[in-house]
Amino acid sequence: MSTLADRLADLADDAPHGTGDTSGASGLWQQGRRYARRRRLETGALVVVLLLALGSVGTWVLPSASYDVAPADASASLRLPDRLFTPSPYLPGTDDVGPVGPLVAVFGAERKTWRGTASNALVGVGAAGDYAFLDLPDVAPRSLGEEDQLALSTDGRFVGYWVAGEPEGEANYFGGDPVVGIAVLDTVTGDVLRHEVPTEHGLDVGGLVFAGDRLWADYGQFTEGAPRGAGTASSTGAPPVLWDVTSDVVTEHPELVDADLSAATHAGARLVRSRERAVEVVEPSDGSAERWRLDVATEGASVVDPTGRRVAVLADLDGRGTVTSGVPKVVRAGVLGSEVPVPTQVVPGEGVAELLGWRDEQHVVGLTYRPGAYVSIDVTTGETERLVLLPSVTWSPSTVVAADALTAPTFDAPEPPSVVAPWVRLVVVSLALLVVGVALLWWRRRARV
């Protein structure tokens, strides 16, 4: 009978006896040196593999981190992307990436917070095809939902929108939060210019349209307060105002009272208003208007080229003077001259749903559906060329394009990055770091054994 310790010591006597010479020890030392070199190489390779794996995860899951929006460049020439995409709802905003520079287009898109809460937002497309949500301070819901209540200057530098706020008296919530003024985002500097309008109950907005770098705004004054969801509201008319955003001078134009800017366009710096059988071109300096009677009833917005000579209209075939959305309409084109009424000729082809402007002296740009696209139409031959394929999933407001972009060359537009939800990024990055940490711990532990 003996203890375990005694029996272990006894058994250990069966162990081989080591030799006393140092030659074997020297060989072990050399082997150890080679082992150390091999370990260093293996460790380096492991680190490279882990970094590559992390990089792969990063490029897949963190595109927003590497999403490089081109810096704002006031002199950047606009180019027309051949396609616009529905961006990720987790796309960064201008508050994150800074000023994005002149915009080719602005349109509505769904935006989500890191918790997944969705809301309507405006996304801007830069001259290089970059996408960013526009963080517009105090933007009124109307400007987030209707393209007529949102304006983009000719050169794409300024974005005009209605400002929501508290009126002086009881607020009128007809149509959403009360509007108390207009604002312009300078996409180059990031500054926001505001023009507050004194109002008792809020403004009954009519329309916003840029002509050059002057913003026309049409609104009335609500005569009384109203709760949310009110079915009707009364307002008084007010003369439209013209805001020169470069000099920050606002002028009223009472001579244009009852002006309807919802279907207004522009010809260079001049405002173009469409009437049932007429087109009116307004000089911004004094508000004087040239009026031409047309030989056809029109529907929707008519477009006049920057020289003020050529006009294109959509014929109102049913003669009811109402806009029929989504239905292709016949395009007619003519020259504004001395002949009265102005004769227009039918442009051959399938027609378009809306007219946007002139691409050059011979081509007019229109909107078609199925698929949604901007097309260039030769007003003589009717030959049609697709310019821009619009997003497959559309939100309100629909696309507003800078006029200069309509005359610019097209380019093969890159798709914006598919930004995944922040919480997904957090989970994946945490897991990746955990895996790397465990791998390194395992490696160190293995190295010691």
Partner 1 sequence: MPASDEQDFEEFVVARRAALLRTAYLLTGQVEDAEDLLQTALVKVVPHWRRIRDRPEPYVRQVLVRESVSRWRRRRWREVTTDEVPESAARESGAEDREDLRRALRALPPRQRAVVVLRYFEDLTEAQTAEALGIAVGTVKSQARDALARLRRDLPALVEEPSVVRG
Q: Given the rule CB under 8 A, which residues bind partner 1?
A: 1-5, 7-22, 24-26, 28-29, 31-33, 35-36, 39, 445-449
Place of tokens 């029996």: 7
Distance CA 289, CA 304 (A): 14
Please, what is the minimum distance in Å from the beta carbon of residue 51 to partner 1? 23
Q: Which is nearer to partner 1, 16 or 254 (CB)?
A: 16
Please, what is the minimum distance in Å from the beta carbon of residue 139 to partner 1? 60
Say which DSSP state 396 is in: E
Per-residue b or e along 208-234, where b marks 16 or more CB atoms closer than 10 Å to that residue's CB: bbbbbbbbbbbbbbbeebbeeeeeebe
Please, what is the minimum distance in Å from the beta carbon of residue 53 to partner 1? 25
Q: Which is nearer to partner 1, 23 or 232 (CB)?
A: 23
Q: Answer whether 355's CB lies under 8 Å from 314's CB.
A: yes
Which tokens belong to 93? 């905003």
Q: At what angle do helices 422-448 and 23-61 cross, to 10 degrees?
A: 180
Q: Which is nearer to partner 1, 52 or 441 (CB)?
A: 441
Please, what is the minimum distance in Å from the beta carbon of residue 9 to partner 1? 7
Say which DSSP state 360 is in: S
Q: Which is nearer to partner 1, 20 or 254 (CB)?
A: 20
Per-residue b or e along 101-123, where b marks 16 or more CB atoms closer than 10 Å to that residue's CB: bbbbbbbbbebbeeeeeeebbbb
Q: Which is nearer to partner 1, 340 or 447 (CB)?
A: 447
Please, what is the minimum distance in Å from the beta carbon of residue 3 to partner 1? 6
How far out from the chain centre does Cα 263 lie? 22
Q: Which is nearer to partner 1, 43 or 394 (CB)?
A: 43
Q: CB-based burial of residue 382 (10 Å sphere; 0-12 exposed, 13-18 middle, 19+ buried)?
A: middle
Q: Which is nearer to partner 1, 30 or 232 (CB)?
A: 30
Say which DSSP state 170 is in: S
Residue count of the chain: 449
Distance CA 170, CA 337 (A): 51
How far out from the chain centre does Cα 122 lie? 5
Q: Which is nearer to partner 1, 9 or 118 (CB)?
A: 9
Q: Which is nearer to partner 1, 32 or 437 (CB)?
A: 32
Please, what is the minimum distance in Å from the beta carbon of residue 20 to partner 1? 6
Q: Which is nearer to partner 1, 4 or 393 (CB)?
A: 4
Distance CA 89, CA 121 (A): 9
Distance CA 309, CA 115 (A): 53
Please, what is the minimum distance in Å from the beta carbon of residue 14 to partner 1? 6
Q: Which is nearer to partner 1, 40 or 309 (CB)?
A: 40
Q: Answer whether 377's CB lies under 8 Å from 366's CB.
A: yes
Sheet holding 310-314, edge to edge: 303-304, 310-314, 331-335, 344-346
Q: What separation, in Å, do the N-terminal and C-terminal C-alpha atoms of the chain show?
A: 36
Please, what is the minimum distance in Å from the beta carbon of residue 27 to partner 1? 9
Please, what is the minimum distance in Å from the beta carbon of residue 48 to partner 1? 20
Amino acid making up residue 168: E
* Maximal C-alpha separation, the chain: 131
Distance CA 406, CA 385 (A): 13
